[in-house]
Structure 1
Amino acid sequence: MSNEKTKVTFGTLVLLASTVVLFALSLLGSAVPVVLGGLAALGMAAGSLLIGTSETGRPV
């Protein structure tokens, strides 16, 4: 139970942080932080994977 809750909590934090970074970069309108945008997109994928595999059974 604790491991599942840890995965969901960490996955949610990664998703939220990555989303904030992507929205902040879109407001800047600059092409310079493309690497940060790519890392934020990878963070969103990792967070979704952590949340999707947190319960027993088949992953989402």
Structure 2
Amino acid sequence: MPTSSMKVVVGAVLLLIGSVLILGTGLQQLPLPAIAGSIAALLLAAGSVLLGTSEGGQPV
């Protein structure tokens, strides 16, 4: 089981990559392909789960 600090780092990296994919293409006014949008959404979801479960206790 990964440590909580490792979960925070990996979760933050996943959130950053997903955000860059979505916001980067939006700011450049380029159409985001469906597969890239799906991957970005999954990265955001995985990063949120990792950050939410990084501390002890029951996640909200």
Quickly name the TM-score band, shorter chain normalised: 0.7 to 0.9
RMSD: 1.5
Query: Identity of paired residues, percent?
Result: 40
Distance in 2 between residues matched to 1:16 and 1:30, nearest whole Å: 20
Q: Residue 11 of structure 1 aligns with which residue? A: 11
Larger proportion of helix: 1
Query: Gaps (5+ residues) in structure 1?
Result: none
Q: Residue 38 of structure 1 aligns with which residue? A: 38
Taking structure 1 as the reference length, the TM-score comes to 0.84
Query: Gaps (5+ residues) in structure 2?
Result: none
Residues matched between the structures, number: 58
Taking structure 2 as the reference length, the TM-score comes to 0.84
